[in-house]
Structure 1
């Protein structure tokens, strides 16, 4: 299994943005990333300078949102929905998207995903995918 470093993730998004802007051929993953990048024009300056992106600190103490984490969560959710893993995430996402639109639905799902990861790490237990999907379903109501 591939476990990219934070620098790998930052390079990936900066490169996908560069390719998209210059009209180069995008890999399937680049294309998915570019679709989400387009929906976040506020990240353009960060993504335009890979070296600065690598040097930047997005610690909690800094109080600034990490655009690479945000975009990575969009990619994770898109992949989960595409393969319906965990089971039920596709239907829950689609229901939420009907109510809010796809982008806002992803942002709601991010809250549930973050909560699941935080709980797992805090308690030293595997992620609870059932609770995750239930959290998304609850946001549909």
Structure 2
């Protein structure tokens, strides 16, 4: 399993941002990332300076959104939807996208559930609970 470091993730998004703005050829994963980057123009400054990106602390205490975490979650959710893993995530996405009239907003709703599952896993030291994640999504869909 590939486990990129925080710096790897930040370099990936900064490089994708650069390549996209220079109209260079993107890998399939970079193409997906570039689409999410384009939907978040507020992150342009953070993505335009690799060195600053590597040094910036986005802790909760700083009170600012971590653009790299946010974009990474969009990528994770897109992958989950594409393979319907955990089972039911694709259907929840479709329901939320229709309800919000926006795939992007549906992603943000899913992101809240995903973030909660990850937070619970980190807090308890247990593996992520995919069923709790799906149950939270089902609650949002009802």
TM class by shorter chain equals over 0.9
Q: How does 1:4-19 map to 2 (within 5 A)?
A: 4-19=4-19
For the residue of structure 1 that corresponds to 2:26, the secondary structure is: coil
- Give 1:122 deviation, angstroms: 1.4
Matched, 1:54 2:63: no
For 2:72, the equivalent position in structure 1 comes to: 72
- Give 1:9 deviation, angstroms: 0.3
For the residue of structure 2 that corresponds to 1:17, the secondary structure is: helix
- Taking structure 1 as the reference length, the TM-score comes to 0.97
CA distance in 2, matches of 1:60, 1:29: 28
Deviations 1:67-95 (A, max 9, x none): 00000000000000001100111111111
For 1:34, the equivalent position in structure 2 comes to: 34
Deviations 1:107-138 (A, max 9, x none): 11111001111111212222111110121121
For the residue of structure 1 that corresponds to 2:58, the secondary structure is: coil
For 1:2, the equivalent position in structure 2 comes to: 2
Question: Unpaired segments of 5 or more residues in structure 2?
Answer: none
Deviations 1:20-54 (A, max 9, x none): 11100110000000000000000001111111111
- Taking structure 2 as the reference length, the TM-score comes to 0.96
CA distance in 1, matches of 2:69, 2:76: 10
